[in-house]
Chain A
Amino acid sequence: MSAAIRIEALTKDYAVGFWRKRPYRALDGLSLEIEEGEVFGFLGPNGAGKTTTLKLLMQLTYPTSGRAEILGRPAGDVATRQRIGYLPENPYFYDYLTAEELLQYFGRLFGYGAADRRTRVNALLDLVGIGGERRLQLRKFSKGMLQRVGIAQALLNDPEVIFLDEPMSGLDPLGRREVRKLILGLREQGRTVFFSSHILADAEALCGRVAIMAGGRLAAAGRLSDLLAFQVRGWEMVVAGLTSEALARIGPRVRGATQIAAGRYTLELALEQPPEGLLPDLAACGASLVSVNPLRESLEDFFMQRVAEAGQGARVTGPEKARRLEKT
């Protein structure tokens, strides 16, 4: 399989400051390859460089150094845009157009004839769940509805590669589920989807592979399960019918216990103390198991850890950063 997206040592500096401009590295030497037909999650906390990367891929900004290719053509190639779709972060469109007119406008830019446009526009607005509102001006749309319109316009040209910047943002739980289903549908059709998110659950539900960004640098890349498996740091059990005597008996093997109701406790176990070892004792004292969950580090903890591992922190601003940039 060939690469749908190839990113090589992509770096972006912005000048910050009003009088004395100094460089600020928003993206630092990112290299990635995304295969055709892959759903790729681009994760990281706010300010990690996700949106910067997507803007560089769309050539809304120009790289300081490095290069990027989409479908074998350099990023920014106008002809390639016929084959890609892009949902910007918190999309905003023309106030004075209706949802239908906006998609018609974009459809014209893709060169579709009137009949073809009408079919596509209607089908897509149905797909993203915009019903009678499609004849309303976009100024009347809520954030979530704009997000849906944004997704529709990103899919208007049946793109081979789809870039989605925070596709779930602004959506209610139902909307999130619909978008997940939609992305899975795209995967089944063999499309390449590159989406950014700061929510781990989205990535877990959708992605084969992910890249984790922190402070403008690539912190980790690979299968999400591989990346996070070793991050389990203990177990959390909820048990019912536990008496205080029984709790005292199992106490030494439990790292912490919190009472949530009469006889109902949350027990925290260390990683070396698997929960199944405790089950016979619980049964013996008449307590029952309600739930067991691995205690994982949150994605944010993971980011912070990776940033710390990466050295002095990926992003230094101010004179120190400027000095370092001058050296390179």
Chain B
Amino acid sequence: MRAINTVAVNVFRESVRDRVPYNLVIFAVLLMGASYLLGQLTAGQDVKIIKDLGLAAISLFGLFIALFIGIGLVSKEVERRSIYALLAKPVSRAQFIVGKYLGLVLTLAVNVSAMTIALYLVLSYQGWIESAEMKAAWEAPAADPALLKAVALIGIELMLVTAIALFFSTFSTPLLSAALTLGVYIAGRFNADLKNFDQIVDSQLTIWMARAAYHLLPDFSAFDVKTQVVHGLAVPGGYIAATAAYGALYIGALLIAATLIFSRRDFK
């Protein structure tokens, strides 16, 4: 555990030194700018739009971090040969992989938390300045705790994207890893459509391939409850738990696969 922690903390430190937290500044400026603009343009709808925009931005910024740091986590160490001295220390290759993964998850957790706090601050301010009759028309309060459900699922989604990026980065170049991870993510977003391919195309091969992709790829749309939360619709706890377990299963499988591949690798 000591080795895993040490590697993880170092990943976190690297992301801080690489100025990843700067994205938080962009996020805050974007959010505050948007809420100010929307306040000028719309009546009554602005809180809903800010929630929508805020959650989408948390998801997107997180995705950037998971993707761009994730693809370099392992390949950069191999490419720059910094892994040579590291693996001569009492660290197994499995510990290295898990440590790298947890380090990026820690980075994401800190970033997502900071962005969530910023969103709540902006929403609270909106709730405070708005008149009582305006508030009566809202489907949900401004600083609605239910937003956290959406944030939690975004968090798990990002952990899954990180695991996919890490998996690819154990055996391919950063550019290829980025393309593959993004491909899996986009295909996974439209997972439900893959299931219904037989209604659109005739080719048996295409149908068969779409089916295979449907079963193999994670269904990323399952993690998206932004619309429900923003419109004040209920998201049952059971659904969140089941989706979390679904994500955890994929993450576990990916980390095991990444470790197996990485443990057999030669560093030339």
State in angstroms the CA–CA spacing of A79 and B264 once bound together.
Answer: 19
A62 at the interface (CB under 8 A from B): yes
Q: How far is the CB of B67 from chain A (nearest CB, A)?
A: 20
A84 at the interface (CB under 8 A from B): yes
Q: Mark A56-70, 1 if CB is under 8 A from B, else 0.
A: 001111100000000
Cβ of B264 and Cβ of A62 under 8 Å apart?
A: yes
Q: How far is the CB of A303 from chain B (nearest CB, A)?
A: 23
Q: Which of B233-268 contact A (CB under 8 A)?
A: 264, 266-268
Q: Which of A68-99 contact B (CB under 8 A)?
A: 78-79, 81-82, 84-88, 90-94, 96-97
Stretch with Cβ within 8 A of A (4 or more), from B86-94, B104-112, B166-174, B214-222: B86-94
Q: Which of B73-117 contact A (CB under 8 A)?
A: 80-92
Q: Which residues of A contact B91 (CB under 8 A)?
A: 78, 81, 109
Cβ of A109 and Cβ of B6 under 8 Å apart?
A: yes
Cβ of A109 and Cβ of B3 under 8 Å apart?
A: yes
Residue of A nearest to B264 (CB): A62
Q: Which residues of A contact B266 (CB under 8 A)?
A: 14, 60-62
State in angstroms the CA–CA spacing of A48 and B17 once bound together.
Answer: 39
B133 at the interface (CB under 8 A from A): no
Cβ of B88 and Cβ of A86 under 8 Å apart?
A: yes
Cβ of B92 and Cβ of A78 under 8 Å apart?
A: yes
B231 at the interface (CB under 8 A from A): no
Cβ of B85 and Cβ of A78 under 8 Å apart?
A: no
Size category of the binding interface on chain B: 20 to 34
B202 at the interface (CB under 8 A from A): no
State in angstroms the CA–CA spacing of A21 and B120 once bound together.
Answer: 57
Q: Which residues of B contact A97 (CB under 8 A)?
A: 10, 13, 17
Cβ of A81 and Cβ of B84 under 8 Å apart?
A: no
State in angstroms the CA–CA spacing of A4 and B80 once bound together.
Answer: 30
| A78 in contact with B10 given A96-B18, A150-B85, A153-B85 (CB within 8 Å) | no
A55 at the interface (CB under 8 A from B): yes
State in angstroms the CA–CA spacing of A101 and B9 once bound together.
Answer: 12
| A60 in contact with B84 given A14-B268, A108-B6, A109-B3 (CB within 8 Å) | yes
Cβ of B81 and Cβ of A92 under 8 Å apart?
A: yes
Q: Which of B1-54 contact A (CB under 8 A)?
A: 2-3, 6-7, 10, 13-14, 17-18
Cβ of A108 and Cβ of B2 under 8 Å apart?
A: yes
Cβ of B89 and Cβ of A81 under 8 Å apart?
A: yes
Residue of B nearest to A149 (CB): B85
Cβ of B84 and Cβ of A91 under 8 Å apart?
A: yes
| A91 in contact with B2 given A78-B90, A82-B90 (CB within 8 Å) | no
Residue of B nearest to A88 (CB): B84
Q: Which residues of A contact B264 (CB under 8 A)?
A: 62
State in angstroms the CA–CA spacing of A303 and B53 once bound together.
Answer: 69
Q: How far is the CB of B254 from chain A (nearest CB, A)?
A: 23
State in angstroms the CA–CA spacing of A3 and B77 once bound together.
Answer: 33
Residue of B nearest to A91 (CB): B85
State in angstroms the CA–CA spacing of A293 and B267 once bound together.
Answer: 44
List 18 additional A-B contacts (Cβ < 8 Å) besides A92-B80, A97-B13.
Answer: A58-B88, A59-B87, A60-B266, A62-B264, A62-B266, A78-B91, A79-B90, A81-B89, A91-B81, A92-B81, A93-B82, A96-B17, A106-B89, A109-B2, A109-B86, A109-B90, A111-B90, A163-B88
7 A/B residue pairs, CB under 8 Å, sorted by A: A14-B266, A78-B91, A86-B88, A88-B88, A96-B13, A106-B89, A154-B85
- Top 7 A-B pairs, shortest CB-CB distance: A86-B88, A96-B17, A88-B84, A61-B266, A109-B89, A108-B6, A60-B267
